[in-house]
A = this chain, B = another copy of it.
Amino acid sequence: MPDSAQKPVLGILGGLGPAASCYLYQMLIDHTPAQRDQDHIDLLLCSRASTPDRTAFITGESQADPLPFMLRDAQRLADGGATVLAIPCNTAHYFYERIAAAVPVPVLNMPALVAAEARARGCQKLGILATDGTLLGKAYQLVCQEQGLAWAKPAPAQQAAVMRIIYDQIKQGRRADIAAFNAAVDDLKAQGCTHAVLGCTELSLVKRDEHLPDDFFLDSTEVLCRAALRACGVEPVGF
């Protein structure tokens, strides 16, 4: 057997939730220039659906800490041969520094990658569509600050609707209430946002299923997908 230890292997710390991880996996396949199986990247995916809810812990609603699960799985992915890790859950990036410090391989930082892309696309003010946990943890606010970008979040009523879309609709395998989604987007536009990040991987599923336009939305899953392919030596196609 040829020594494949030299070959890049993507480790996906996933299941947060499973549908979002599966969508990243499909996206990696779809955007790889491939004529045969062996043209695709090797990857290990840990879909640990039993990881406690990230938002519930960050907001203090639950004492069940997801970090020990993520640390154990990140280490197992590295032990299994992953050479770079991706975490297809924006809210989990609340724990980014602690995960990145604990494993011997690089970990892609999804919010930081999104903010850099927003800046490159000429964004002046970034709307943040995300969970309460992501907003409370300030992952996007901090990376916007680092990139010199203004930011805004939906007003409370619209944010409550975003949470319902994520938890009561998408995570339950249902379609999003697109009128409620558009109301949140309109609120961000009224606040002067030139772009908005789909800063929850469940909202990436809304973009896919409702064909949301690329000119206003930055899709965190798409940004992560491109970075992951490049980290594995593949130049993505078809975006």
A residues whose Cβ falls under 8 Å from a Cβ of B: 1, 4, 7, 15-19, 21-22, 25-26, 29-30, 34-53, 65, 68-69, 72, 76, 79-81, 167, 171-173
Contacts and interface: CB of A to CB of B under 8 A. Distances in A.
Which 5 pairs across A and B sit closest by C-beta, in order of nearness? A40-B49, A17-B37, A1-B68, A45-B45, A43-B47
Q: Is the interface of A mostly helix, strand, loop or mixed?
A: mixed
A48 B68 CA distance: 27
Copies in the complex: 2
A15 B42 contact: yes
Contacts of A34: 172-173
Contacts of A35: 172
A22 B25 CA distance: 7
Nearest to A41: B49
A40 to B, nearest CB: 4
B36 A171 contact: yes
